[in-house]
Structure 1
Amino acid sequence: MDQHVTALPYERPEGCPFDPPAGLAPLREREPLTRLRYPDGHLGWLATGYATVRAIAADPRFSSRQELMHFPIPGGPEGPLPPGTVGDMTAMDAPEHTRYRRLLAGKFTVRRMRQLTSRVEEITAQHLDAMERNGPAVDLVEAYAHPVPALMICELLGVPEADREVFKRRAAAISDPGSSLDEQVAAMTGLGEFVHELALAKRAHPTDDVLSDLTGSDLTDAELAGVGSFLLAAGLDTTANMLGLGTFALLSHPEQAAALRADPGLADQAVEELLRHLSIVHTGIRTALEDVEMDGRLIRAGESVTLSVQAANRDPARFDDPDSLDLRRRATGHLAFGHGIHQCLGQQLARVEMRVAFPALFTRFPTLRLAVPPEDVPLRGAMGIYGVRSLPVTWGPTG
């Protein structure tokens, strides 16, 4: 019998909020594919090497269907997982996934997303102005990191101006650390109903937005609403947490923040490096549909493989000095957006938002700094998307 790891390493080194769990690197150095005992007793696999994670993510012999997966983190769902919700492309395989992807791919081209840059700049400037009025101390998550991508999702989905404040409040309540589970479920239900009503309104009266474009397809009302909810979930929480955690990382590496402030043209490289370094979506899961030989090991049909994105993005076989944050690094090829057919559809919009938001923030507030000790910044450690719950910051004279 193969030796196996009894649990997925998920505890970060103390005082290192940006680094992967300490147990991942030794596993990767020993072998890129390791047997893993899942909390439900399933004996599957853990992939930690860059080349291995990338290969499995792109291999059609591995399924992304949720009902075939085993969950690797203790305290997660017990027993068989349900199928993914209608419209959730992350939980589909071809040909169903292909149908959805073809409908959406043309809506997220690099060219179209770059056309949104001026709108991102407007929204960013409005929130920086508000910070300046309300400062010199704010919670950056509440004042900037969350509302900027929330309003861009509104633009993308065509949420009417009159409904945007309601939309933002409901979206914020889902990830509010002060909300109870019942309140978060109620917020999710309310937001789902909101998107469903929006989808029906777009079918009746299309406007110039992605949801309206999709009303001309063969999607049912339920599928249209499901795709809207999927785009909301995929495009809001991830970008909001990258803006929050990315700012925390830059404030914790002042020489890197200074480099970005001195050269806003560094933004493209800075965003890619922050994505690689932080890897806020830590893991993916695939299940073998047939026996597959990988790295000299036999993965049998039905066995789940946990893909450690954070370990892969810190693999020294792919990135030199991978544990350092270096905004001048050419970090292309990182796996923060996934790989293969499930590579993030909205990655270009996320890039546009971050390329504008990070330099604008550090240029407007050159003395920006944490308002609390770094160890007091509350982290989203137990959630599927890593980040900060809040980020108290201040600016102005330091003397």
Structure 2
Amino acid sequence: MTTAPVADDASAEIPRFPQPRAAACPFDPSPELRGLAQWGPLTRVRSWGDTTPWVVTSHAEQKALLSDPRLSADFSHPGFPSPVDHSGGEHGATDLSFVGMDDPEHARLRRMVSGAFTIKRVEAMRPVVQEMVDDFITRMLAGPKPADLVQALALPVPSLVISELLGVPYEDHEFFQTNSKVLVSAVATPQERQAAHGNLNGYLDQLLDAKLTDPGDDLLSSLGQQIHAGELTRRQAVAMGVLLLLGGHETTANMITLGTLLLLEHPDQLARVRDTDDPKVIASAVEELLRYLSVVHLGRRRTALEDIEVAGKTIRAGEGVILLGELANRDPSVFPDPDRLDIARDARSHQAFGSGTHHCLGQPLARMELQVLYPALLRRIPTLRLATDLDQVPFKYDAVIYGVHALPVTWQPSPAAARPVPPARRRCPRASS
């Protein structure tokens, strides 16, 4: 018989966080974490530094709390749940830009770059992104087989897009990808993390120098204008550049590979994406993939600024809170039969991008890139298939952004060849209700 987690110091009865995903069910949340939902929408876990933050498991409570100003996103609070110590020091919360701030400063800094990510601006980029995707697919088809979809397509496309947007030379992509990989690693040492952060800071600082002297039509040049106007310090501008460079390619690249792999494991759903010309069907498929595949591994984390009553329990001021989007996205009260992939489902209320004032700034761009890439890849290569067994795919269990380190794929030489159908994925056990 399992004992319910308790909210006192009986540490033996409090489950650990984070918990690894089950190797047999790599697309699903950790079964141990999913089991927390049976104790209600709010429960304790034992986490970094032997702390006991709250985990919020339900969709409704997560959405409400993410809009609650009594929860702080400031990483420097002593009770903030994090594997990295952000309290004070040279690399404190301010170096992580506005994602680690609260309003009004968060809103002020965010407004300086939000115009570049409006739906209108992003949609104007769609034809250019389509050309990029087509070009990389053509290169992949001309190259050796099997191909690594990560290196051939998933990393290059969002890296090139964010480089164009920021005004960063794409030829430096290996440098910023290498350093960003360290920053999102769950196993990197503090020294490695600090070195990678310093590398990216130094790189963006030098690039900002050039933009201040010779501005262009890009986001870094726009930030340079804010420095001239006295609205932004140079350190703040560099931190924002690092944030956008990191966020602009890591999450999208991992969604590209995970989404492709998931569709390959569900050939009926893949066929619906491949064979439709209806943009609404594609948009629906992307939302369902975002719901099903939550790539943010460690949740959205906050600290309570004052006591908050939630579902009959009290989050005390100073306590940490972890809001797990992957659990909200499998909440059966919002998404019936949540473990079933269904691209016809209305999944728009998912929490893949969060909600409230800290919702993901780049979500219109990520959606557009995914809407372009998935159908383009599947139509250009209708015989695409995994070139290894699923259990041989190296999943990123060692990163805070979930995905795969490599995805070997192959295809038949002729589009007219019979498309191989992969075997049905092993049925993962459902969480207890």
Give the structure-1-normalised TM-score.
Answer: 0.92
The answer to whether residue 389 in structure 2 is matched with residue 389 in structure 1 is no
Is the alpha carbon distance of 1:180 and 1:333 closer, same or farther for their aligned partners in structure 2, counting shifts above 3 Å?
A: closer
59 and 276 in structure 1: CA distance in 2 versus 1, 3 angstrom threshold = same
The match for 1:234 is 247
Q: Is the 8 A contact 2:80 2:302 kept in 1?
A: no
CA 1:187–1:299 in 2, change beyond 3 Å: closer, same or farther?
closer
| Structure 1 segment 126-165 matched on structure 2, within 5 A | 126-159=135-168, 163-165=169-171
Counterpart of 1:28 (choices 28, 31, 37) is 37
Q: Which residue of 2 aligns with 1:279?
A: 294
C-alpha distance in 2 between matches for 1:256 and 1:137: 23
One-letter code aligned to 1:324: R
Q: Corresponding residue for 2:390?
A: 374
Aligned to 1:41: 50
Alignment of 1:285-324 (within 5 A): 285-324=301-340
Change (3 A) 1:141 1:354: same
Aligned residue number for residue 358 of structure 1: 374
Residue 96 of structure 1 corresponds to which residue in structure 2? 105
Gaps of 5+ in 2: 1-5, 421-433
Q: CA RMSD in A?
A: 2.3
- C-alpha distance in 2, partners of 1:81/1:15? 41
What amino acid maps onto 1:233 in structure 2? L
CA distance in 2, matches of 1:267, 1:47: 31
Looking at structure 2, the residues matched to 373 and 184 of structure 1 have their Cα atoms a distance apart, in angstroms, of 33
Q: Is this contact kept in 2: 1:69–1:285, CA < 8 A?
A: no
Q: In structure 1, what is the equivalent of residue 93 of structure 2?
A: 84
- Measured in 1, the distance between the counterparts of 2:282 and 2:364 equals 14
Mapped contact 1:56–1:62 kept (Cα < 8 A): yes
Are the equivalent residues in 2 in contact too, given 1:379–1:389 (CA < 8 A)?
yes
Please tell me the residue identity of whatever aligns with 2:176. A
Residue number in structure 1 paired with 2:285 = 270
- SS for the counterpart of 2:76 is helix
Query: Contact 1:7–1:36 (CA<8 Å) still a contact in 2?
Result: yes
Give the letter for the 1:204 counterpart: T
Which amino acid is the alignment partner of residue 267 of structure 1? Answer: I
Flag the 1:81–1:312 CA change in 2: closer, same or farther, 3 A.
farther
1:321 CA displacement: 1.1
Give the letter aligned to residue 285 of structure 2: A
Per-residue deviation, 1:253: 1.1
Following superposition, the deviation at residue 335 of structure 1 comes to 0.7
Amino acid at match of 2:102: D
Q: Secondary structure at the match of 2:340?
A: coil
Could you say what secondary structure the match of 1:43 adopts?
A: coil
> CA distance change for structure 1 residues 16 and 6 in 2, over 3 Å: closer, same or farther?
closer
Change (3 A) 1:212 1:306: same
Aligned residue for 2:330, secondary structure, equals: coil
Does 1:172 find its partner at 2:177? yes
- Cα distance in structure 2, aligned partners of 1:277 and 1:259: 17
Inter-CA distance 186–96: structure 2 relative to 1 (3 Å threshold): same
Conserved 8 A contact 1:107-1:210: yes
Residues in 2 aligned to 1:309 and 1:69: alpha-carbon distance in whole angstroms: 23
Q: Secondary structure at the match of 2:269?
A: helix
Alpha-carbon distance in 2 for matches of 1:274, 1:33: 26
- What is the CA–CA distance in structure 2 between the aligned matches of 1:247 and 1:70, rounded to whole Å? 38
* Long gaps (5+) in structure 1: none
3-state DSSP class of the match of 1:335?
coil
Q: 1:212 to 1:65 in 2, by over 3 A?
A: same
Q: One-letter code of the match for 1:238? A: T
Contact 2:18 2:47 in 1 (8 A): no
- 1:360 deviates by 0.5
Task: Give distance in 1, aligned partners of 2:188 and 2:75.
Answer: 26
For the Cα contact (< 8 Å) 1:171–1:187, is it kept in 2? Answer: no
State which of 333, 349, 356 in structure 2 corresponds to 1:340: 356
1:198 matches 2:204: no
- C-alpha distance 71-368 of structure 1, shift in aligned 2 (>3 A): farther
Q: What is the DSSP-based 3-state SS (H/G/I as helix, E as strand, rest coil) of the residue aligned with 1:306?
A: strand
Aligned equivalents of 2:166 and 2:357: distance in 1? 23
**362 and 338 in structure 1: CA distance in 2 versus 1, 3 angstrom threshold:** same
Q: Deviations over 1:167-200 (max 9, x none)?
A: 21112323389x9978886555433322212222
Q: Which residue of 1 aligns with 2:130?
A: 121
Contact 1:124 1:148 in 2 (8 A): yes
Q: Does the 8 A contact of 2:176 with 2:200 survive in 1?
A: yes
Shift of 1:60: 0.5
| Cα deviations by residue, 1:329-358 (Å, 9 ceiling, x for unpaired) | 111011101111110101111111111011
CA distance in 2, matches of 1:284, 1:173: 24
**Residue 26 of structure 1, CA deviation:** 2.8
TM-score (norm 2): 0.85
Say if 1:39 and 1:102 are closer, same or farther in 2 by CA, change over 3 A.
closer
Quick one: distance in 1 between partners of 2:338 and 2:18? 19
Counterparts of 2:282 and 2:194, CA distance in 1:
37
User: Is the contact between residue 94 and residue 101 of structure 2 (CA under 8 Å) also seen in structure 1?
Assistant: no
